Structure 1
Amino acid sequence: MSLFAIPSNPVPEGAVSGEITTADGVRLRYARWMPDTGLKGTVALFQGRAEFIEKYFEVIGELRARGFAVAILDWRGQGGSQRLLRNPRKGHVRRFQDYQLDLEAFAREVLLPDCPAPHFALGHSMGGTVLLQSVLAGRRWFDRMVLVAPMLHLDVIPALPLVRALVTVLAYSGFARTLVPGGRSRPITEVPFARNPVNSDPERYARAAEVVRAFPELGIGAPTNGWLYAAFRAMDMLADPEQVREIRQPLLMVAAGGERLVSNAAIEHLASRLIAGAQVVVPAAQHEILMERDFFRAQFWAAFDAFIPGTPPV
């Protein structure tokens, strides 16, 4: 599977891209790079909902400049990976556990055989949810994880209890593959910058939109009732105190002070109960910290550099 470039977003040199197949037969697009200099290990990048590999080209370059190899995949149903419905613009998954099949195929077929250890994970939003679920499932693919604005609870939905009840009824009534009430299949990158709830950097926001306009096959719109119902169930699991006690993975959660999409209170609540985890906040930043203005991104990278690869053994 190819990687796509536009003049303002070229493919980083040295890319190796391809396709892997999950245990349930879904085709996934992946890419990997070796570092520019040195070799500190590999950072695996895990996107949020509706994102795609090309959106992270700048981040990939910054990681390689730090001496890391980089590996990344598109989750099932988005980016350049196989879509699951006849309408490819619908963001759908039957259950969040299916993303674990994506992660396992990626780890076994790309990360372990082709990417130098130690292995670190950098997950954004939904990607953070999937990584935490993998830890609860007993998987230890990574030495350390950095979770950026992890999706533990949704603040963006008004009247959340009513919406959740409605989505649950719809999901069980044969409408799991239907867009959520009010949702549209137009790519979410087409939301005007002035109304977007995730980013205060106009240039980086426009760049992602330009990529999707040039390559429409990368875009998706609103989620389905089934996806949102599955997301609620996944977030419930991560809110369970009994489950949290099982998390032994060293991890750092980075929250956005100006967050409007996910709940910072839920991130703080989880961080306070972790045995080997911590939280930092980037004041005033919005949800897509990695795509934010340089002032905010510098604070993220300072936290990342302090945590990855961590204190050397004595």
Structure 2
Amino acid sequence: MDEILYATPDNPVPGNHFAGFFEGKGGVKNRYAVFRSAMPEAKGTVVLLQGRNESIEKYFETINELTARGLWVATFDWRGQGGSGRMLRDARRGHVARFSDYEADLSRFLEQIVLPDTRLPFFIVAHSMGALVALSQAPQLESRIDRMVLAAPFLALAGQVMSQRSISAIANAASFFQLGARTFRGDAPTTSFEGNVLTSDRRRFSRNLAICSTHPEIAIGPPTARWLKETLGAIGRVSRQEHLTRIRIPTLVLCPTLDPIVPRSVLNAIAHKFRAGRLIEIDGARHEVFHEADRYRAQAMAAIDAFIPGSQAEHTALGA
């Protein structure tokens, strides 16, 4: 076992790395790791941004593939999850006080870890909630990030008992009445492969489940009302035309077509308004494309290969 990162039998910690903690906004200790490529000349550094209730360990497979391609990978656990500091006494509740705290932590990670300790140029590869943070922060990242790949960006909350509008109204009311730390449902982790909405790959589903079963301290339960309020508010803001127009970083959006959480129709609608963005559909994939069956996951990795690091000619053509 690494002192900071956790291995399981079928998910060893990648070699050639260093890990630690950096101080996020408000003094929160955020766990990070940087994985070096063994190639003598690095092609750049991927800043890998996870989704909600994910951790560095869940991405060891993807990290190994990226470093084998000559890229370094720098990643960290968002506040309130993984190996980072929790926001509430009940460590299982997925909570954030303000969505801007995520953005502030990303900025600190870039300034304190990525800029001084990794290799140019810098790219973002982000999933779900991490992709939402990247989209929100993108207008301020133009001078630092060359390209972004956003997989199933969290731009809708579908597949729930209530509509997104109803969830938003209740979350806003709960926060207003100082009940933002409450959750809407019980803490019952998904342990059955059958019926899961995340992946059609049984092996990867079981591997990820084993990570959390072996190290339950890095997993969290349902989100709080405040988390929902802040995140759904950010979705509304970044989906507006005026925000998307301000993003000039060439961006690739990976759209899994059988994702019940973020519907295909939502991502297609965003793509029509997103001048710097290009959408690629992965037909048949569910929400977690980096943990999907090989036939879907390979399409996502091939799209990354074709887009990162890219050439100067491509940058010019895409308006960078």
Query: TM-score category by the smaller chain?
Result: over 0.9
The answer for the alignment partner of 1:261 in structure 2 is 261
The answer for the alignment partner of 2:71 in structure 1 is 68
Q: Within 2, Cα distance between the matches of 1:98 and 1:312?
A: 34
Whichever residue aligns with residue 255 of structure 1, its letter is C
Q: Within 1, Cα distance between the matches of 2:102 and 2:240?
A: 20
Whichever residue aligns with residue 70 of structure 2, its letter is G
Work out which of the residue numbers 148, 161, 169 in structure 1 matches 2:173.
169
- 1:311 deviation in Å? 2.4
Count residues with an aligned counterpart.
310
Q: Which moved more, 1:88-97 or 1:258-267?
A: 258-267
Map 1:302-313 → 2, pairs under 5 A: 302-313=302-313
1:100 aligns with 2:82: no
Q: Deviations over 1:190-227 (max 9, x none)?
A: 43111211111111011111111111111101000000
Q: Within 2, Cα distance between the matches of 1:138 and 1:107?
A: 10
The gaps in structure 1 that reach 5 residues or longer are: none
1:157 aligns with 2:160: yes
Q: Within 2, Cα distance between the matches of 1:83 and 1:168?
A: 22
8 Å contact from structure 1 (residues 85, 92) kept in 2: yes
Q: Within 1, Cα distance between the matches of 2:279 and 2:155?
A: 14
The answer for the alignment partner of 1:10 in structure 2 is 12
From the superposition, tell whether residues 23 and 95 of structure 1 become closer, same or farther in structure 2 (CA, over 3 Å).
Answer: closer
8 Å contact from structure 2 (residues 14, 64) kept in 1: yes
For normalisation by structure 1, the TM-score amounts to 0.95
Whichever residue aligns with residue 4 of structure 1, its letter is Y
Work out which of the residue numbers 179, 185, 189 in structure 1 matches 2:187.
185
Instruction: State the identity as a percent.
Output: 38
Q: Which moved more, 1:279-288 or 1:266-275?
A: 266-275
Whichever residue aligns with residue 21 of structure 1, its letter is E
- 1:138 deviation in Å? 5.6
The answer for the alignment partner of 1:87 in structure 2 is 90
**Structure 1 residue runs of 4+, over 3 Å off?**
136-140
- 1:95 deviation in Å? 1.6
Map 1:124-139 → 2, pairs under 5 A: 124-137=127-140
8 Å contact from structure 1 (residues 151, 263) kept in 2: no
The answer for the alignment partner of 1:240 in structure 2 is 240
Q: Within 1, Cα distance between the matches of 2:79 and 2:162?
A: 29
For normalisation by structure 2, the TM-score amounts to 0.93
Q: Deviations over 1:42-67 (max 9, x none)?
A: 11100000000000000000001101
8 Å contact from structure 1 (residues 35, 67) kept in 2: yes
- 1:285 deviation in Å? 0.4
